[in-house]
Chain A
Amino acid sequence: DAGVIQSPRHEVTEMGQEVTLRCKPISGHNSLFWYRQTMMRGLELLIYFNNNVPIDDSGMPEDRFSAKMPNASFSTLKIQPSEPRDSAVYFCASSLSLDEQFFGPGTRLTVL
């Protein structure tokens, strides 16, 4: 298994632009998580899905952030419009039910 796949690995964009991060979970896993990692706040859960349904989005910082999971093998995290304070590493993770979570390599986002 290739593990959790995230794309792009690096993204540099200008303030105000739309950013879309992509994640492919491990095949067979039914839970998917989006995390953000910053120096100031460490790792924080943004949102998670169970069986493609958003369960808890209380960690999503603002309405500028949205996440979708149209099917069991794909999820997106969108920021529109992006701001410099959104610069961080965004991780996607997947798990089978309540088992341990497996993390992707992350997307390093820089908003200028």
Chain B
Amino acid sequence: KQEVTQIPAALSVPEGENLVLNCSFTDSAIYNLQWFRQDPGKGLTSLLLIQSSQREQTSGRLNASLDKSSGRSTLYIAASQPGDSATYLCAVETGANNLFFGTGTRLTVIP
């Protein structure tokens, strides 16, 4: 069974700092990998989707990379802002639309 791990579980950084969130998965046979953002008491917002054939995706200050062979993905956030504070989840999609989620990294950006 696919297992997804996210490190660190929690991270606090001062505003303006660049940061990297890590995600690793045990089975490299994936269709895609998604990064989500979850705000307290709310649903999930999709940030970036990387297909298995891609190496990275960018959206604004966010950049996600995928190294399928090593089972790793990173989410890079440039020039962090207090509004970036949230829990970030990565999820890998295996066959049959099955998404396996990591436990998340809780990010706090300190003004």
- What residues make up the interface of A, taking CB atoms closer than 8 Å to B? 4, 31, 33, 35, 42-45, 48, 50, 55-56, 91, 93, 95, 98, 100-106, 108
Contact = CB atoms under 8 A, between A and B. Distances in A.
Interface of B: 31-32, 34, 36, 41-46, 49, 89, 91, 93, 96-99, 101-104
A55 B97 contact: yes
Contact of A45 (B41, B89, B98): B98
**Residue of B31, B32, B43, B104 ringed by the most chain A CB atoms within 10 A:** B43
Nearest to B96: A56
A95 B80 CA distance: 30
SS of A interface (majority) = strand
27 contacts: A4-B43, A31-B97, A35-B99, A42-B101, A42-B104, A43-B101, A45-B99, A48-B97, A48-B98, A50-B97, A55-B96, A55-B97, A56-B97, A56-B98, A91-B43, A93-B44, A98-B31, A98-B97, A100-B46, A101-B34, A101-B99, A102-B46, A103-B43, A103-B46, A104-B43, A105-B42, A108-B41
Contacts, number: 50
SS of B interface (majority) = strand
